[in-house]
Chains A and B, each alone.
Chain A
């Protein structure tokens, strides 16, 4: 089954404790992205990747890091999480930069 998976689905953590949210896709897609969703602000792109070892900043990259060492995986790293990073995070993949985005199930992160 073609899918995008994210882990964990829910996470409560404390300020400053490094965390990683994993994202994996089995569709051999070149493009992958991370978004955060906040009420009234819609979906905002954090980082995107056009292929292995090729990443670029989206609209809200501050406080986040990503890596793309393998085509199928695109982890999101929060080196020192802060309460303003409390949000719903979605990973997505697509076969082209202007094609359908396939979203993962989402990760709800709470930073206290």
Chain B
């Protein structure tokens, strides 16, 4: 079945540095790739997503890049701040036929620590 691998599992950076989290997916039919942030004790929340017809998307300090050929996508956070400390999850899904299935495969998560 479809699989999403996420690396690294933990990442520690100094405040102001950049952080990069990478994911690879197995199903070439995947066409939607969201990223979720989960703060300690909270529910996951969408921070950015990208579709397969786009190679890169930015939203202020965060960006996501997609390489369909290599089947991997990455989350980039620039100028990290302590409030960026959280667990980040990538995910992938594909449309089945003419409609969307709603099936979403998540990566294992990356715990990001931003040290002041």
Contacts and interface: CB of A to CB of B under 8 A. Distances in A.
A43 B43 contact: no
Given A56-B102, A101-B34, 19 more contacts: A33-B104, A40-B109, A42-B108, A43-B89, A43-B109, A49-B102, A50-B99, A56-B103, A59-B105, A90-B44, A97-B101, A97-B103, A98-B31, A101-B44, A103-B43, A103-B44, A103-B45, A104-B43, A105-B43
A: interface residue count bin: 20 to 34
Contact of A97 (B49, B91, B95): B95
Given A56-B103, A58-B103, A101 B108 contact: no
B: interface residue count bin: 20 to 34
Nearest to B3: A59
A8 to B, nearest CB: 16
A96 interface: yes
A25 interface: no
Contact of A100 (B6, B49, B95, B103): B49
B93 interface: yes
